[in-house]
Amino acid sequence: MMSSQSPFFNQTQPPRELYFDRHFGLEATKLWPGEMLATGEDWLLVTVTGSCVVICLHDPVAEVGGMAHFMLPDLDAQNPDMHAPARYGSHMLESLIDALLLQGARRERLMAFLYGGANILKGLYLGAPGERNILFTRNYLATEGIPVHEEAVLEVLPRKIYFQARRGRAKIRGIRAVHNRTIFERELEYRHRLRAEVQPTDGEVF
Amino acid sequence: MPSARIGPISILLVDDSVCHLQTTGFALRRAGYLVREACHAQAARADLDRNGPPAVCVIDHIMAGTDGVQLIQQLRKRRDTRQVPMVLMSTAPALHIRDMAQKAGAQAWLAKPFAPEQLLAILSIVLSR
């Protein structure tokens, strides 16, 4: 049995809350914007997305899978680093892939499930962040040679995604308008948090 | 007797991410380095057999099969690469990378994601020694 423990990624340690989903008959955990999880356990990974990207990856041979939920950060108007948004997005995706490799996955076997990028906040965001998020992710997957097995993107409604990590199966459902405000607030909080998180990284010469 | 370096400084860049090879390779070439690329450890060893040692190796940590730490340890045992400086880069938490890089015998480490200027600054220090 593949261990879900990794010495390197906190995200593959037991998640903060594991509950039993009676509909799917699986232990489940929720991911919030900015989070990533990879596992070989038979868990259900659950998240809700509006304009963010949710990408799920699965290796059917190693029977491991994972999910990353993110958006590209805005450029900092005072210190614009044009490449910072792409670096963050690449980091989220590469981190997910690396976590899966540590679980026994092989790059050439990975397949992607792509969701999100909804335009639920028309007029509130400059530009179209949902489209930007999806376009970036598509380009990344194409460059890395990872096929998109299934997708539901650039819609008008938020989506709740249920991804069976070991089995590589996904189910999605639309979110009614009454829940949109919570999704909006959550994504806005994440978007503001990203400005502080996108900082120079660590390094050292011995 | 030290040999005179002719031409640009060569770097062997080893990373299983095509995106990262492209962006990092582009930045290094723009800075004037001669970049040799390999997408896994076997390709890196084949490149070294074919082209000889570079001035420095920049190696990704997490790769399927032989990972970056193992590759550095292997290259430390080769006569032609024993003295070549190695930089380990990784998506792992910084404390883990530092520990692994030291144990493997790397001269430097860098956490991903990094801006090209950060890697260039590290290379400048490593190559000046």
The torsion angles phi and psi of A197, rounded to 5 degrees, stand at -80, -25
- Which B residues, 46 through 105, put their C-beta within 8 Å of a C-beta on chain A? 62-64, 91-94, 96-98, 101-102
Q: Which stretches in chain B have pLDDT values below 70? A: 1-6
Domain locations in chain A as residue ranges: 10-197
Task: With CA atoms as reference, report the closest residue to A135 among A85, A198, A187.
Answer: A85
The SS3 call for residue B19 is helix
pLDDT over 60 (residue A93): yes
- Provide the pLDDT for residue A4: 29
Residue contact A10–B93, C-beta within 8 A: yes
Residue contact A205–B101, C-beta within 8 A: no
Report the C-alpha gap between A167 and A113 in whole angstroms.
13
Chain B residues lying within 8 Å of A98, measured CB to CB: 62, 91-92
- Provide the pLDDT for residue A184: 79
Chain A residue with Cα closest to B107: A206
Q: What is the mean pLDDT of residues A167-176?
A: 90
Q: How many CB atoms lie within 10 A of CB B37?
A: 18
Mutation to test the B interface, candidates A82, A96, A206, most B Cβ within 10 Å: A206
Q: A152: which residues sit within 8 A by CB, 6+ positions away?
A: A114, A115, A159, A172
The torsion angles phi and psi of A198, rounded to 5 degrees, stand at -80, 85
pLDDT over 70 (residue A3): no
Cβ proximity of A144 and B17 under 8 Å: yes
Is the CB of residue B107 less than 8 Å away from at least one CB of chain A?
A: yes
Chains A–B, number of C-beta pairs less than 8 Å apart = 86
Domain locations in chain B as residue ranges: 10-128
Is the CB of residue A70 less than 8 Å away from at least one CB of chain B?
A: no
* Architecture, CATH, for domain A10-197: 2-Layer Sandwich (3.30)
- Provide the pLDDT for residue A124: 55
Which ranges constitute the DSSP H helices of chain A? Answer: 84-102, 129-144, 180-197
Residue contact B63–A9, C-beta within 8 A: no
pLDDT digits (tens, 9 = 90+) for A132-167: 899 999 999 999 999 999 999 988 788 999 999 999
Task: With CA atoms as reference, report the closest residue to A54 among A194, A151, A199.
Answer: A151
Distance to chain A for B47, nearest Cα, Å: 22
- Provide the pLDDT for residue A127: 61
- Listed range (A48-52, A75-79, A163-167) with the worst mean pLDDT: A75-79
Average pLDDT, rounded, for chain A? 84
- Provide the pLDDT for residue B31: 96
Distance to chain A for B4, nearest Cα, Å: 25
Chain A residues lying within 8 Å of B106, measured CB to CB: 206
The SS3 call for residue B31 is coil
For A179, the token pair is: 């829940």
pLDDT digits (tens, 9 = 90+) for B2-30: 545 557 899 999 999 999 999 999 999 99
Is the CB of residue B106 less than 8 Å away from at least one CB of chain A?
A: yes
Task: Please identify, in words, the CATH class of the domain defined by B10-128.
Answer: alpha beta
